[in-house]
Amino acid sequence: MANLGFIGLGVMGGRLAKRLLDAGHKVTGYNRTKSKADWLLKAGMKWGENPRQVAETTDITLSMVTNTKAVLAITGGPDGVIAGLSPGKIYIDMSTVSPATSRQLAAQVTEKGAHMLDSPVSGSVETLEAGKLSLMVAGDETIFEKVKPILLDIGPKATYVGDNGLAVTMKIATNLSLAVQMLAFCEGVLLAEKSGIERETAVEVLTHSVIASPMVNYRGPFVLGTPEEAWFNVNMMQKDMNLALELGQQLNVPLPTTAVTNEFLTAARGMGLEEEDFAIIFEVLASMSGVNK
């Protein structure tokens, strides 16, 4: 079993760390708010006082934080991950951040004689707890093969996609479809509801139809009532949509449905709903349609 570190123990990161603990690995964790990690400490996780200490005392350090600013905060400075790396150590960032930033971090890690992989995940809390999460991984393929058994303790599918930065690129390309699909689903529900069909009935039909992707199946029912704890809130989703639009402009790839859907996320923020799961865009469209959520 491996000696692992995990930095960023939020909704997804905490559950990923727990899966690694359950698989028998030794895990040392760090989170900006320690109280959020209490349940993991009770489950056997050790505590690191800062990201540097986590990296210094483990062989492989994983991280999952909210955005590019957050990953720079945990990796840089005297108490950051990079300061704690030494030759042969491995750093795996699972955050969805700017691909350019990810490549810059990989270069800094290499200067320390260590190795970096970017390895974001695809799936929700429900997917993770069902053991169906998938991972995309970029960096040195030899290092990927070395850590692959550990990644497979997180989810059953880990796909190597190429050089550093390409896994986060793949994640951005994946995530843009989540909000777009959700908006289309909301349109269908509201069209049916204003025609006289019960919302619950419309949801049941759509989630058992040909449009029922895994995302629609687990998030579609949120239009009947969003969860108390957002799986992926509006701010997080808009961060990914903006990363996609930025890449699209750089690569001359038009992203029209991404751009339109992004405006509904902006509207949700304008309505004070930024901390809600991004499925709350149903409420935005419902309000525009004259329908009470």
pLDDT in tens, 74-132: 999 999 999 999 999 999 999 999 999 999 999 999 999 999 999 999 887 777 887 88
18 classed as catalytic:
no
Q: Quick one: residue 209, left, alpha or beta (phi over 0 = left, psi -120 to 50 = alpha)?
A: beta
- Same domain as 150, residue 197: no
Same domain, yes or no: 236 and 276 = yes
Looking at the fold, whether 11 and 100 belong to one and the same domain comes out as: yes
**Could you tell me if 176 and 257 lie in one domain?**
yes
What is the Cα–Cα distance from 262 to 84, expressed in whole angstroms? 38
151 close to 94: Cβ distance less than 8 angstroms: no
Of 104, 138, 164, the residue at which a domain comes to its end is 164
pLDDT given for residue 126 in this prediction: 77
Among the candidates 164, 196, 220, a domain finishes at 164
Domain identity same for 79 and 138: yes
On whether both 140 and 285 belong to a single domain, the answer is no
CATH classification of the domain holding 62: 3.40.50.720
Please report, as a single letter, which amino acid is at residue 103: R
Name the domain count of the chain: 2
Q: Which one of 114, 144, 164 terminates a domain?
A: 164
Distance separating alpha carbons of residues 118 and 78, to the nearest angstrom: 22
d(CA 9, CA 33): 9
Same domain, 39 and 105: yes
Both 123 and 15 in one domain: the answer is yes
Mean pLDDT, consecutive 10-residue stretches, the chain (293 aa), reads 95 93 96 93 96 98 94 96 97 95 97 97 82 93 97 95 97 94 97 96 96 90 83 93 96 98 97 95 94 76
User: Same domain for 230 and 267?
Assistant: yes
102 and 83 inside one domain: yes
Residues 158 and 176 both lie in one domain: no
Instruction: Name which of 97, 154, 92 is nearest 118 in CA terms.
Output: 92
> Taking the model in full, what pTM does it have?
0.89
> What pLDDT, on the 0 to 100 scale, is given for residue 293?
63
Q: Which of the following is catalytic: 89, 112, 171, 239? A: 171
Q: Which domain holds residue 194?
A: 172-289
Q: How far apart are CA 53 and CA 173, in angstroms?
A: 34
- 76 DSSP assignment: S
One domain for residues 115 and 45: yes
- Residue 223 maps to which CATH number? 1.10.1040.10
| Helix H or strand E encompassing 91 | strand 90-93
